Amino acid sequence: MGLKLSIVTISMLLLVKFIVNAECNIFDVRNYGAKANADITQALTNTWKAACASAGPSKVVIPGGKYRMGAVKLLGPCKGRIEVQVQGYLQASGSPTGDSWVSFVHVDLLTLSGSGTFDGQGKTAWGQNDCVKSKYCNKLPINIRFDFITNSVIRDITSLDSKQFHINVLGCKNVTFQHVTITAPETSPNTDGIHIGRSTGIHIINSNIGTGDDCVSLGDGSRDITVEKVTCGPGHGISIGSLGKYPGEEPVSGVKVIGCTLTNTMTGVRIKTWPDSHAGIATDMHFEDIIMNNVGNPIIIDQVYCPWNQCKAQIPSKIKISNVSFKNIRGTSKYREAVKLICSRGVPCEKVQLQDIDLAYSGKEGPVEYHCINVRPTISGKQNPPACTVKA
């Protein structure tokens, strides 16, 4: 209970800090040439530059209406706190090029708000990448990038049909996502909802994510991350990793996934590392009070993650996983193996806890079961299916 209260307190303090009782200089994109049903790329760029250079708090306003927009990079630092309020419907224009559509870079005290929509027009690009045959996929634009953003709030916006990840968070500190909606078809490839890497103090709260890949994914260097009251589905679940593919990856630590609901997702809560990996650490990761509705493999540690056979699966992972807990996870599994803990034989998992697990399987392949390798979990409370036994 104390943990949940602390998260709410953090969220409210941030909202109060950036929103309440402050008069802003208003910068309306229409005053810089924006018109409905037209391209506003240059108008938004000019509006941002003026607002960012303004002394004191400022607000960029994109009013209701439909607008086309090419790639924009909104650069800081700014002279004061800045809000971008999107009420309109923004539609990506032009051929898919580069790695981002809308980018916020080096901004402190940013608020991105409003009931508006960022429509990435992903249907125009999803067929261009064949990741099954190619080791490295072509770059496609991410709907919204946050690079080196600090002390900021993103709330109430919608990301629709991104060509690649919907939201990418890199090198950020103390950023809260609240009441964010992310939508794409289950068949859309590589469209992670929110991907976080090398960032600290990121909180995703009360958000709805349905997409074609992970609803939330955490890359290396993710520290002090909270995912609370997120609904996920369709998608691949909530994932840490994959880790270990590249040299020099930073440790992952301090992850809390609390009070989430996953429905019809490919997997549930998952930690995944590559075999034949570079060395690394993933520790202090906790999953609690989670509902699974017809989820394939609701609980997974997968240290032989090797999509499309792009690795040497026979060489064990060098990512050390420790201090992991799964508590009060309940619902239904799409497959018989509701719990899969497949750890590395080179660096077996340590301090894994399973408490009050209740997962039913209604298929015809046999009783629901655990599958455990190279791990000796601590078991307590209700265990349905019966707790796993260690396999060599």
DSSP character string of 105-170: ES-BSEEEESS-EEE--GGGTGGG--TTT-SSPPP--EEEEEES-EEEEEES-EEES-SS-SEEEE
Q: Which of 166, 195, 236, 286 is catalytic?
A: 236
Q: How far apart are the first and last CA of the chain?
A: 39
* Max Cα-Cα span within the chain: 68
Distance CA 313, CA 173 (A): 35
**205 touches 180 (CB < 8 A):** no
| Nearest to 102, CA basis, from 94, 92, 111 | 92
List Cβ neighbours of 78 (8 Å cut-off, separation of 6 or more): 51, 52, 53, 58, 107, 108, 109
Which 3 state secondary structure label does DSSP give 58? strand
Parallel, antiparallel or unpaired: strands 194-197 and 216-218: parallel
**Paired strand residues for 350:** 322
One-letter amino acid at 359 equals: L
**243 touches 272 (CB < 8 A):** yes
Distance CA 212, CA 237 (A): 10
Residue count of the chain, please give it. Answer: 392
Which 3 state secondary structure label does DSSP give 51? helix
Distance CA 272, CA 369 (A): 20
Distance CA 114, CA 153 (A): 12
Concerning whether 203 is annotated as a catalytic residue, the answer is no
Residues identified as active-site: 236
